Chains A and B, each alone.
Chain A
Amino acid sequence: MPKQRSTRDLSLIRRLIRSGKRNETLFIATGLAALALAVLTFLALFIDMLIDGSPRLTAEFFSNYASRKAEKAGILAAWVGTFTVMLVTAAVAVPLGVMSGIYLEEYAPKNRFTDLIEININNLAGVPSIVYGLLALGMFVHTFGMGASVATAGLTLALLILPVVIVATRESIRAIPGSIREAAYALGATRWQTVQHHVLPYSMPGILTGVIIGLSRAIGETAPIVIIGAVTFIAFLPGSPVQSAPPFISFDWLSAPFTAMPIQIFNWTSRPDAAFQANASAAALVLVAMTVVMNGLAIWLRYRLRRNIKW
């Protein structure tokens, strides 16, 4: 039998602890450096954008249409376009995505077919956005004759974020313990009552977060709306949804041509004039602010709604 090394040698133990701690310090330093690189790069870009763009952030910038004169140009058409497109996107993607997610989690049998659907949905989340643009160009613009309209863009982006919404819905449903479902069933609830009274309310924080994160992805998408033919220069707004004469509401705005924030930014960036570059920076700042606000809202909602849900 070989001679065993003592594991009770205190000086050896102390040496081992010291060397272990040295490695730890090394790791902390590397990790911090990696984090700093990521954060500082973003900060540098953001500060550069702030310096270039902030002088242009006046009230007129928000209320003026695009113009050939850089100092008179604004983002009115762009932000209204982005806003209306997002409205359509949310109105389409949320019900479709949430209902699909609920069906897949609570009703669909677990078999090869549903496995296939699941794999497909996960793959769809990774499909490049330009592919959705091509699909929309063929289907919505040409086959359905919807043109390059607010509705087309909204539907395109809705398709784009649909997998995100479905996956978020399924994951937050899966986070509900089986014992809560069993409690409802044991009290005599039907499947739909269980979904309606328990599954859906308890998964709402996760679903909302998923929806908002999907929307904040859609808001910056450029490729698909370039493909479907967003206008780069536009000097009017989509028609108002409310009217003074009966029937008081109008859906004309859906079929109006549009531009959006990323398109406007792209257009200004491609101009040689430095003044337009400043406009682009300012518009990009607004877009970043929109995204930050949406993500902030997601975090706040999750915090707010989860406070009451403890298992």
Chain B
Amino acid sequence: MNAPEAKPDLDSLPIKAEAKQLNFYYGAKQALKQIDLPIYDNKVTALIGPSGCGKSTFLRCFNRMHDLYPGNRYEGEIRLYPDDVNLLASAVDPIEVRMRLSMVFQKPNPFPKSIFENVAYGLRVRGLKNRTELEDRVEQALRDAALFGEVQDRLQDLASNLSGGQQQRLCIARALASEPELLLFDEPTSALDPIATGSIEELIHALRDKVTILIVTHNMQQAARVSDFTAYMYLGELIEFGWTDDVFFRPKQKQTEDYITGRFG
């Protein structure tokens, strides 16, 4: 549990982003119902819940990934602070949203390019051309992702030669390189062995000083280990949200308690 003994008043914490009355539809099927959720600045917020509860769908609303496929529709808002912009507004270009937020996916998905080019890609898309600056920022991102020491002698090697855990840390470095305002993790360790999972969890924990993190996980121990806040979702609804240790040890809802104690889900 990462929450300090004396937890600060929630109202005094700065908020980085906030879902307001969010509904989401895959065609006619409603996948998210009236979700209200604050994402606190420089904290890790975990989304837990049984398969199909909409936690990944919710996460993918933040960087407008649903815009890539036809028939999807949002209602409501996700506000990003401090500039207080609604990320879901039709006037906001989804590409601009994806330039500001980064995402790490379930399965490591490095490009079939060199380690260097993988991390540099987001920077190149953002118009960075200067070789020295690219090199510096790639190195910094790899250091932040705790991968630099393992790959510094072979930055030009193919990313596919790395192990699964290294590939996922490379994807984290790729996501960090563009200095995201919010970092989204979609079950980042579900394809990894326990040792690789451990190193990713440590990394997530360390990263929250630099960036606000929202992580989807179906591993409750993981949520307990890495997050400050936890949100429990079920059938597209947000059931409970609070400090992680409150949700795990003093759940207010019977449903949450059943899920957490393993009686259901």
Seen from chain A, the residues whose Cβ lies within 8 Å of a Cβ on chain B are 109-110, 177, 179-180, 182-190, 193, 197-198, 202, 308-311
Those of B54-74 within 8 Å (CB) of chain A: 63, 65, 68, 70
From residue A155, how far is it (CB to closest CB) to chain B in Å? 36
The total of chain B residues at the interface (CB under 8 A) is 25
Question: In the bound complex, what is the Cα–Cα distance between A110 and B69 (angstroms)?
Answer: 11
In the complex with contacts A182-B65, A182-B105, A308-B158, A187-B70 CB distance below 8 A: no
Those of B168-224 within 8 Å (CB) of chain A: 171, 174-175, 178
A109-B70, A188-B95, A311-B160 given. 8 additional CB < 8 A pairs? A179-B109, A183-B110, A186-B98, A186-B102, A187-B122, A188-B99, A189-B95, A308-B158
Question: In the bound complex, what is the Cα–Cα distance between A182 and B56 (angstroms)?
Answer: 14
Most chain A beta-carbon neighbours within 10 Å: one of B68, B99, B160: B68
CB pair B109–A185 under 8 Å, yes or no, is: no
B125 close to A (CB within 8 Å):
yes
A contact residues around B121 at 8 Å (CB): 184, 187, 189, 197
From residue A21, how far is it (CB to closest CB) to chain B in Å? 40
From residue B176, how far is it (CB to closest CB) to chain A in Å? 11
CB pair A308–B112 under 8 Å, yes or no, is: yes
From residue B222, how far is it (CB to closest CB) to chain A in Å? 21
CB pair A183–B98 under 8 Å, yes or no, is: no
B contact residues around A188 at 8 Å (CB): 95, 98-99, 122, 125-126, 178
CB pair B65–A186 under 8 Å, yes or no, is: yes
CB pair A202–B63 under 8 Å, yes or no, is: no
Question: In the bound complex, what is the Cα–Cα distance between A188 and B99 (angstroms)?
Answer: 5
In the complex with contacts A109-B70, A188-B126, A182-B178 CB distance below 8 A: no
Q: Please, could you name 28 A-B residue pairs with CB atoms under 8 Å apart, sorted by A?
A: A179-B109, A180-B111, A180-B112, A182-B65, A182-B109, A183-B109, A184-B111, A184-B121, A185-B65, A185-B68, A185-B98, A186-B98, A186-B175, A187-B98, A187-B102, A187-B121, A187-B174, A187-B178, A188-B98, A189-B125, A198-B111, A202-B112, A308-B112, A308-B158, A310-B158, A310-B160, A311-B112, A311-B160
Question: In the bound complex, what is the Cα–Cα distance between A115 and B174 (angstroms)?
Answer: 37
B contact residues around A310 at 8 Å (CB): 112, 158, 160
B contact residues around A185 at 8 Å (CB): 65, 68, 98
* Cross-chain contact of A110 among B70, B111, B122, B125 (Cβ < 8 A): B70
- Residue of B at shortest CB range from A307? B158
B contact residues around A179 at 8 Å (CB): 105, 107, 109
Those of B95-153 within 8 Å (CB) of chain A: 95, 98-99, 102-103, 105, 107, 109-112, 121-122, 125-126
